[in-house]
Structure 1
Amino acid sequence: MRSFLLLLLVISTTTLHGQTYKFDFGNGPVAKGYGQVLPEMVYTAERGFGFLEGKQPEAINSGRNELKGDLIASDAPFFFTVDVPEGNYDVKVILGDREGTSSTTIRVENRRLMLEKTDTKEGKQKEEMFSVHVRYPEIAGTDKKVRLKSRELDYFHWDHQLTIEFNGDAPKVAAVEITPNTTAPTVFLAGNSTVVDQANEPWAAWGQMFPVFFKPGKVVIANHAESGETLKAFMGAGRLENVLSLMKPGDYLFIEFAHNDQKPGGSHVEPFTTYQEMIREYAAAAKAKGGIPVLVTSMHRRRFDENGKIINTLDDYPEAMRQLAKEDGIALIDLNAISKVLYEAWGVEASKKAFVHFPAGTFEGQREDFADNTHFSTYGAYQLARCVVEGLKQTDLKLKKYLKKGIPSYNSENPPAFEDFYWPLSPKVSVIKPDGN
């Protein structure tokens, strides 16, 4: 009770200055200004924070320092969630163990990659920071909500909370501090299943890997993409309106659609007419808010001819976007062109590692083989994100100045091997293919 009351005091006294949430993990003495988090504190609405159900982590206490001397550790992934208002946040974490080693990977919300494998030597600790976008289905300034699909109702990124996944070989966390960031530009992503934060293993998309390449505190990635969406459906569900309600001058809107827009039906658009018209509508809406539109041509599907060359299944849609970008002076990242080089470099067999190709029994409940040539594995999604980063470097956008220093150039003709990619699996698995193809 004492720690809970202390946390209420911490939150209430900082509300006037923009809520800051400060958590001291472990069962030792509580650092001044922090609320204590014990292993058994499962989330409740009354408390407003806590661990999600699963294997309970354990407390480790060296007794050497109030904030850093005690911590929470586990030999399995664990999730910590906090009720927070909609917006952007900088999250600082203290990782490591004063009496041991640690290895932690951090993802947020729907497996959005924030911190890659971070190791600490015995007795050492590290402070790391990442920036997170938290979104609500309620559209700010209106009485409307985004029209969610049934499967989205259980997604972490619509639940009025910030959920942090601590994963890795030996995750150890001493403290978490969550501070609003109201000044950094936001990069909003609008797209389909090839962009979205896929909620479950083994599915992934480039948008959920994108944040890890940017300097924390300097820019925030807000992935509003959703599986199965088209330009028309994204707008009709209120997703674009939701983005615009949050957009401020200097923010960005990345637009990547084509896979589903080309199909027959009520959302179909023709490449050089209605497709271009709708993209212009998106771009104009962003500009009206002081935002900067960025066009991303859709990557190829995995389809090879008898000579090992990629077959274009997207018709004229990528070319229509290229021409529009040139005519209207809008920044373009030609992911379509880069992906062709990348897939052909992999070849027919190796490219399967980049897509959801897994034999039956690889994942719990998987009774049939996965052989999906549109949706990516985590390895493939990460490589596509690297391609988008490389494309960003070729633009004149100020955004590229916020990329982390030291990111090596990405050679799509010689991509990193699958065997060198590290991704500790999240607990949530789905055998259901995402919408779209």
Structure 2
Amino acid sequence: MRKRKLGFSVIIVITIISMFGCFLDLHISAAANEYKFDFGGGAVEPGYIGVSASMAYDKSRGYGFNTPWNMKNVSASGSGLTSDAVQFLTYGTKSDNTFNVDLSNGLYEVKVTLGNTSRASVAAEGVYQIINMTGNCATDKFQIPITDGQLNILVTEGKEGTPFTLSALEIKKISDIPVTNRTIYIGGDSTVCNYYPLDSSAQAGWGQMLHKFVDTNTFQIRNMASSANLQEVFEMTVNLKR
């Protein structure tokens, strides 16, 4: 009887270990599609991966700056996660001075938190994703399909002559299918554009409020309106179409 019980117990243990192994594999696989980065030379927030300006992209690591010699660690006026940042010294939607992250193909939500800046935009895959984020530690997010196994992102104009900084980046896979929800693009002037912080600004353009009246499970809203002059709006629109 003891032998039978022992054998039965061994089978149970082996089964549990096998099941746990399956769960572990799933967890590891999921982790590869979700990242939280804390940029700058200061302390790293719990749950985030610290990234200094000098960290070059490494294939075995799966992330890093394409040209780290064009990056600089800077301080920021926030606290904790937003107490430091990195500054992009070269920029533009066609710049190769990007932060690269290896990802499996699919659809991702990317949350961006800037450091200190007066007006900056975010480009990914060579296209503007968010334009004219204003104020220190501004936060916004966007959806992007990945079809080549890597996200390439940078902070750029904005406003020429001002610093373009990045304090934190959160990346989360939301679908294995690399197709965004149907998209409503908005263009316009200061009566339409976003004002930051998005959830507590004293003023807001109507484009900033449209998500309250749209089913965001079906549509994503991309507010590309700008309070910049008409020439800047034209240049951003041209870059968006490329």
TM-score normalised per structure 2: 0.59
Deviation of 1:166 (Å): 1.9
How large is the RMSD of aligned CA atoms in angstroms?
A: 3.9
In 2, the alpha carbon distance for the partners of 1:49 and 1:38 equals 12
> Which structure would you say has the larger RCO, counting Cα contacts within 8 Å and 6 or more residues apart?
2
Partner of 1:22: 36
Partner of 1:176: 169
Query: For structure 1, which runs of at least 5 residues remain unmatched after alignment?
Result: 1-11, 136-157, 189-209, 215-397, 409-415, 427-433
Over 3 Å counting, the alpha-carbon distance change for 1:40 and 1:115 in structure 2 is same
SS in 2 for 1:67: helix
Query: For structure 2, which runs of at least 5 residues remain unmatched after alignment?
Result: 1-25, 92-96, 187-214
**1:421 pairs with 2:234:** yes
In 2, the alpha carbon distance for the partners of 1:405 and 1:56 equals 29
**1:102 pairs with 2:118:** yes
Q: Is the 8 A contact 1:167 1:424 kept in 2?
A: no
TM-score normalised per structure 1: 0.35
Q: Deviations over 1:9-60 (max 9, x none)?
A: xxx9664467311110001000001111111111111221111126521111
In 1, the alpha carbon distance for the partners of 2:32 and 2:58 equals 23
Moved over 6 A (4+): 405-408
Match 1:133 to one of 145, 148, 164 = 145
**1:53 pairs with 2:25:** no
Q: Is the 8 A contact 1:102 1:172 kept in 2?
A: no
Over 3 Å counting, the alpha-carbon distance change for 1:212 and 1:174 in structure 2 is farther
Match 2:105 to one of 86, 94, 106 = 86
Deviation of 1:404 (Å): 2.8
Over 3 Å counting, the alpha-carbon distance change for 1:88 and 1:421 in structure 2 is same
Q: Deviations over 1:179-209 (max 9, x none)?
A: 0112999359xxxxxxxxxxxxxxxxxxxxx
Q: Deviations over 1:182-240 (max 9, x none)?
A: 2999359xxxxxxxxxxxxxxxxxxxxx96828xxxxxxxxxxxxxxxxxxxxxxxxxx
Q: How many residues align?
A: 175
**1:161 pairs with 2:139:** no
In 1, the alpha carbon distance for the partners of 2:114 and 2:222 equals 22
In 2, the alpha carbon distance for the partners of 1:19 and 1:176 equals 13
Higher strand share: 2
Deviation of 1:405 (Å): 8.2
**1:116 pairs with 2:131:** yes
Aligned partner of 1:125: which letter?
Answer: C
Partner of 1:213: 185
In 2, the alpha carbon distance for the partners of 1:50 and 1:107 equals 16
Over 3 Å counting, the alpha-carbon distance change for 1:88 and 1:73 in structure 2 is same
